[in-house]
């Protein structure tokens, strides 16, 4: 933090120098793996084989998770062999505390392979902020959705949102 920034916000600077958010998260997560002071986290609560080399993961999210609009993508962070990877996926909101993540294994994909083959119920994932502008327009014009492959996932999210 720059000296000028510290001078503008002395209490914030003092808090940042005294409070270690990572240490707080470490101890909070000893009580509940979804508790965090600053991280949007999710716990895999159900894993289903959706198709050949494809899984659907039901994930319970914590209070810091920001649900995007239908059709947007979320950064998903996963640790594979001790290395933290980031990939983006479309999620489908199931209710206020659960999302659905469907993943097809990519032969050279480290994260997709881990999610399909090794991820288990109870594993924790971290999420970033949703992004993207493939969202529903609020008008009554007929809508045509076309998708192929994994592009079907945001379409399912859009259809679910339109059915509400």
The kind and range of the H/E element at 55 are strand 54-61
Instruction: Note the pLDDT of residue 164.
Output: 67
Q: What is the pLDDT of residue 87?
A: 93
- What pLDDT is stored for residue 1 in this prediction? 47
This prediction has a pTM of 0.74
pLDDT score, position 157:
73
CB atoms within 10 A of CB 138: 5
Tell the burial category of 26 from Cβ atoms under 10 Å away from its Cβ (0-12, 13-18, 19+): exposed
Strands 54-61, 40-51: pairing kind: antiparallel
pLDDT tens per residue across all 164 residues of the chain: 455 555 556 666 655 666 677 777 777 767 877 777 778 899 999 999 988 889 999 999 999 899 888 778 899 999 999 999 999 988 888 888 999 998 989 999 999 999 999 999 999 999 999 887 777 777 667 777 777 665 666 777 777 776 76
Helical residues (DSSP H) of the chain, grouped into ranges: 3-8, 10-18, 21-31, 110-117, 152-162
Q: In Å, how far are 14, 26, 49, 62, 142 from 104, measured between CA atoms? A: 46, 32, 10, 25, 30
The pLDDT value recorded for residue 76 is: 93
Please report which helix (H) or strand (E) contains residue 127, including its range.
strand 124-127
Q: Tokens at residue 129, please? A: 């902020």
Q: What is the pLDDT of residue 121?
A: 96
pLDDT at 83: 93
- Note the Cα 34 to chain centre separation in Å: 13
């Amino acid at each position: 933090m720059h000296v000028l920034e510290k001078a503008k916000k002395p209490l914030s600077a003092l808090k940042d120098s005294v409070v270690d958010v990572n240490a707080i998260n470490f101890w909070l997560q000893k009580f509940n793996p979804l508790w965090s002071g600053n991280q949007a986290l999710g716990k895999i609560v159900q894993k289903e084989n959706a198709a050949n080399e494809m899984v659907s993961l039901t994930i319970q999210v914590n209070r810091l998770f920001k649900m995007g609009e239908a059709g947007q993508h979320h950064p998903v962070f996963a640790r594979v062999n001790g290395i933290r990877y980031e990939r983006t996926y479309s999620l489908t909101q199931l209710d206020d505390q659960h999302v659905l993540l469907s993943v097809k294994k990519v032969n050279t994909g480290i994260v997709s392979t881990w999610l399909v083959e090794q991820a288990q119920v109870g594993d924790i994932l971290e999420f970033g902020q949703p992004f993207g502008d493939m969202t529903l327009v609020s008008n009554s014009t007929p809508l045509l959705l076309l998708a192929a492959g994994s592009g079907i996932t945001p379409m399912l999210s859009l259809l679910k949102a339109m059915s509400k």
